Chain A
Amino acid sequence: MTMKIKVKNAETGATVEMELEPENTIDEVIESSAGFWGKDMGAYVLRRGKKVLRGGSNLREAGVREEDVLELIPDPEGG
């Protein structure tokens, strides 16, 4: 059963709607959305509310539900 969620780009405020299976992983959502916006190679995290979602977990395990809005945040590694 597919579900629709939105992913928001923290850097631009833009959003993209994604159609996903509950078995899709957070890693896949990060890669797809970062690729959609043509982001540079770098580290990113996906948040739902105040929590950072675990990359290897799938959407069901992460508690992601239909209509949720997740946010893609750059995880800066420079020092």
Chain B
Amino acid sequence: MVDVLRVGSHDEDRFDRSRRIGWLDLEAVSRARVLVIGAGAIGNEVGKDLALSGFRRMTIVDMDKVVGSNLNRCLFFSSEHALSGRNKAEVVAEGIKGLFPESEPVPVVSRVQALPESVFKDHDVVLGCLDNIEARVHCNSHSYASGKVYIDGGMEGLMGKVVVARPPDGACLQCGMNRSHAKIASLRFSCTGRDVVFHEPRLPAEITTTSVIAAIMVREALKVVSGKHEMIVANAVYYDGFRNICEELEIPLDPACPVHVRT
């Protein structure tokens, strides 16, 4: 059988340009199951990047509804979604499906703490797009205990960070936390949500920092599922948009960290 080459045929392939990236394992990306916790600003951008990168199997978890103040940085949200009080997880899943019709995003409207522990085991990589330390600690510890890589993103104004926790070795997100984290652990650093009470902080947030942080998160997920472990961040990236500095820092493993004491 002779292969027939048609002029311009590579321009019909959605992932032709991705296939030209030597280290990227598109088949593995296509098969990978990704758990996205949080469908706010970072969750929107992460969803977009996952879809355009070729991820098909995604679970999107969020308990909140879309509100007007989301609209300065959330690609998939519209005024109509805010007016009708749509669930964020559902709107992001619809947006992903719109960008990549072959994908199978599954929305889950719930707090992550209410999900069965098996949800972490059922996915290959976990992306934390959260707005509070309590949920971050939950996702970090459950991912670690399930042997899944946890990629956590956070931002405030022009500052952002990404932490990658890779069990069974190495530090986790909680290893890098200190007393200042403990003091604010129960607060949600959100701008929205009916259960966010008035005295909790509303942070400055805009799309450019969100985009940078989400892009780093999804790029690290691509490395994880492509088996390029030597290229993965070890283990934190801090981004300063005021000075356009992006720096890799090491969070050393804390032997007293509850996650490591338990494992």
Q: Count contacts on A: residues with CB < 8 A to the other chain.
A: 27
Nearest residue in B to A47 (C-beta to C-beta)?
B249
Q: Which of A10-68 contact B (CB under 8 A)?
A: 10-11, 26-27, 30-31, 34, 40-45, 47, 50-52, 54-56
Bound complex: CA of A26 vs CA of B180, how far in Å? 11
Q: A26-B178, A55-B178 in contact; A73/B238 too (CB < 8 A)?
A: yes
Inter-chain contact A78/B179, CB cutoff 8 Å:
no
Q: Which residues of B contact A51 (CB under 8 A)?
A: 249-252
Inter-chain contact A30/B156, CB cutoff 8 Å:
no
B228 at the interface (CB under 8 A from A): no
Inter-chain contact B240/A78, CB cutoff 8 Å:
no
Inter-chain contact A74/B248, CB cutoff 8 Å:
no
- 8 closest A-B pairs (Cβ-Cβ)? A55-B178, A76-B156, A79-B131, A27-B179, A78-B203, A78-B189, A76-B154, A43-B181
Q: Count contacts on B: residues with CB < 8 A to the other chain.
A: 45
Q: Which residues of B contact A42 (CB under 8 A)?
A: 156, 180, 184, 201
Number of interchain pairs (Cβ within 8 Å): 103
Bound complex: CA of A43 vs CA of B40, how far in Å? 20
Q: Would you call the interface of chain B mostly helix, strand, loop, or mixed?
A: mixed
Identify which of A50, A54, A74 contacts B159 (C-beta below 8 A). Answer: A74
B54 at the interface (CB under 8 A from A): no
Nearest residue in A to B248 (C-beta to C-beta)?
A50
Inter-chain contact B153/A55, CB cutoff 8 Å:
no
Bound complex: CA of A55 vs CA of B175, how far in Å? 9
Binding site for A on B (CB under 8 A): 38, 40-43, 129-133, 136, 153-157, 159-161, 175-181, 183-184, 189-190, 201, 203, 205, 236, 238, 240, 242, 247-252, 254, 256
Bound complex: CA of A79 vs CA of B64, how far in Å? 13
Nearest Cβ on chain B to A52's Cβ, whole angstroms: 5
Inter-chain contact B156/A78, CB cutoff 8 Å:
yes
Could you write out 27 A-B pairs with CB less than 8 Å apart? Answer: A11-B159, A11-B242, A27-B178, A30-B180, A41-B184, A42-B201, A43-B178, A43-B181, A47-B249, A51-B249, A51-B251, A51-B252, A52-B251, A55-B177, A56-B178, A74-B159, A76-B156, A76-B157, A77-B131, A77-B136, A77-B189, A78-B41, A78-B155, A78-B190, A79-B40, A79-B41, A79-B130
Nearest residue in A to B240 (C-beta to C-beta)?
A10
Inter-chain contact B156/A74, CB cutoff 8 Å:
yes
Nearest residue in B to A75 (C-beta to C-beta)?
B161
Inter-chain contact A43/B177, CB cutoff 8 Å:
yes
Nearest Cβ on chain B to A73's Cβ, whole angstroms: 6
Q: Which residues of B contact A11 (CB under 8 A)?
A: 159, 242
Q: A10-B240, A43-B133, A45-B176 in contact; A75/B181 too (CB < 8 A)?
A: yes
Identify which of B43, B175, B248 contacts A79 (C-beta below 8 A). Answer: B43
Inter-chain contact A76/B155, CB cutoff 8 Å:
yes
Q: Which residues of A contact B180 (CB under 8 A)?
A: 27, 30-31, 34, 42-44, 55, 75
Identify which of B131, B189, B249 contacts A50 (C-beta below 8 A). Answer: B249
